[in-house]
Amino acid sequence: MTLLPFLSVLLWLLLPVPARTAAAARPPHPTITPAPNLKDRVVPRDFDPGSYINSVLDGFGSGVSSYIASGVPQFFQDLPSGEAVESSLGIGDAELAAQPTRVLNLPAYANWTEQGWNVRVHGNVYKQPNISQERLDDLANVFLIGTDIDELSDSEQRQARNMTASIFVVQQGNVNVTIYFESNVDALTDASGGVINAEGGAQELNLPYPTTDQGDFDTFVTLENTTGTGGGYLIPGNSTSSIQALYMYANGTDTGNATAYLVPPTGFTIISDVDDILRVTKIYDPKEGLLNSFARPFTPWMNMPEIYANWSTTIPNFHFHYLTTTPEQVTRNYMEFIYNTYPLGSFDTRPLNFSDVSATLSIRRALLDEIFQTFPQRKFVLVADTSNSDIMRDYPQLVRDYPGQVQCIFLRNTTATDSSDLFPYDTSGFSGIDQKQYMFFVTPDDLRNVDIVGGNCHNPAVIQNTTFGYQGRGFGNEASSAPSLIRRSSWRGNWSKSLLGSLLALSLSI
């Protein structure tokens, strides 16, 4: 696949449009709603959101709608990999072979079994081609819609080049991976949810399978309880409530360093989304989303780091797990931001071997199922935002599929504070779920007075008024104007660009 279909649609949207008469003027920009009053934004009963969405998709043409209708953003489906990178850069096998092998080794979680601690080791093996700055600038400009890299500040140019270079890598298939574990994680003391240093377990393990054709590896390995310095050892999971940390290194590279978190069978685990919940992304606004992802420094969303830090220090042995389905190629930038800003913890991203549309549609749910089934006695806190349709579907379903395991669901209502998020979201999955188990919130401060341990996840000061069905900006108080918007044959202009961003964000798993 190539970026051309996606870019052609965006360029079409950015073209100037002839002046219209007043009758055909662009619809007024929706106002910002100051509080998460979902009742005021419910879709009228005679409005069919399915037909509306399909009509919009049809207007963009089959080249785009086939992805958006399936909930897969066109942009993230078209990142090059493997041979496509070699071909686009014009590099040969000999030139690539001269480059060192690199490893993306993702921070891991481990569960306690009858055989001992079982660590999920996962990541990707790749090579980084040598790309000139001039060529990187050309490649970066493909992503910087409406902006040229020369128009950015020096720091933004560096960010854009680094992000672009991380995308244009060549994955290495059929590679045998060896992981070293070491028990000297001194820097982690009291850094995250009461994590303690493991005092044993140093060893070398060969993964049982080589990497996939896309360079991925993902498997559980069982640790031996080797003796550490001073006679220390790994504390059995059935004898401790503490999370223990081990360093883990990939053999043959200085890039494959990570941490494994040995998580006891009981306790609390938070599974947190990243984009538009931990950092400012605006993925539903194409130009802003791409600039925030490729050029601008990653910026925390409001005072969310303060909220997470408070949870880390007040909830005993709170296991932090970050789950984003952004492509593996850009994961390193995400991890660097997370671990400089939020409590340390394990990490999941979308592996490249989930490359077809049907698999991509279920990747978030597959990763959620894996961690829920790995820790059947732990209770989970789920944090994300309303702009992802897969989250709006999967999170309430997890309450039903894993009775007693979902402690809290916290969803940022992006439409309440961001006028560029126009796409509807569906709350029908929450019908029948106890209100104290979930909360739609607008600012991080709304999370201050929730009682996670006690299971009181709704701050009574945050009014919900939740109705169950399609919600969203432009479909509540502005409902009377919705039909006229639907019937418009021309979709160019600022409103349509924001809508396209929302469509691209449909099921975006970042």
Question: With pLDDT > 70 as the criterion, what percentage of the chain qualifies?
Answer: 74
Give Cα 247 to chain centroid, integer Å: 24
pLDDT band at 157, cuts 50/70/90?
A: very high
pLDDT at residue 477 greater than cutoff 90: no
pLDDT at residue 59 greater than cutoff 90: no
pLDDT band at 506, cuts 50/70/90?
A: very low
Report pLDDT for 433: 96
Q: Are 127 and 169 in contact (CB under 8 A)?
A: yes
CATH architecture of residue range(s) 100-129+171-262: Sandwich (2.60)
Report pLDDT for 191: 61
| pLDDT tens per residue, range 283-310 | 777 778 888 888 999 999 999 999 999 9
Q: Are 471 and 431 in contact (CB under 8 A)?
A: no
Determine the average pLDDT of the residues in 164-171: 92
pLDDT band at 176, cuts 50/70/90?
A: very high
Domain ranges of the chain: 100-129+171-262, 133-167, 268-505
pLDDT at residue 27 greater than cutoff 70: no
d(C-alpha 17, C-alpha 7), whole Å: 18
Report pLDDT for 389: 83
The Cα-based distances of 207 to 161, 245, 258, 353 in angstroms read 33, 20, 16, 17
Q: Are 265 and 378 in contact (CB under 8 A)?
A: yes
Residue 425, judged by CB atoms within 10 A of its CB (0-12, 13-18, 19+), counts as buried
Report pLDDT for 189: 53
pLDDT at residue 277 greater than cutoff 60: yes
More confident residue, 198 or 350: 198
pLDDT band at 37, cuts 50/70/90?
A: very low
Determine the average pLDDT of the residues in 179-206: 82
pLDDT band at 505, cuts 50/70/90?
A: very low
Determine the average pLDDT of the residues in 147-159: 94
More confident residue, 471 or 474: 471
What is the residue-averaged pLDDT of the chain?
Answer: 78
* pTM for the predicted model, two decimal places: 0.80
pLDDT at residue 5 greater than cutoff 70: no
pLDDT at residue 478 greater than cutoff 70: no
More confident residue, 505 or 341: 341
- Region of poorest pLDDT, from 102-111, 408-417, 420-429, 434-443: 420-429
More confident residue, 206 or 49: 206
More confident residue, 27 or 136: 136
Determine the average pLDDT of the residues in 38-44: 31
pLDDT at residue 190 greater than cutoff 70: no
More confident residue, 64 or 230: 230
pLDDT at residue 53 greater than cutoff 50: no
Fold of domain 268-505 = Rossmann fold (3.40.50)
The Cα-based distances of 173 to 90, 126, 149, 177, 214 in angstroms read 20, 8, 33, 11, 6
pLDDT band at 79, cuts 50/70/90?
A: confident
Determine the average pLDDT of the residues in 131-148: 88
Report pLDDT for 470: 86
Determine the average pLDDT of the residues in 19-45: 32
Point out which residues pair with 348 in neighbouring strands: 323
Q: Are 89 and 131 in contact (CB under 8 A)?
A: yes
pLDDT at residue 146 greater than cutoff 50: yes
More confident residue, 133 or 3: 133
Q: Are 212 and 222 in contact (CB under 8 A)?
A: no
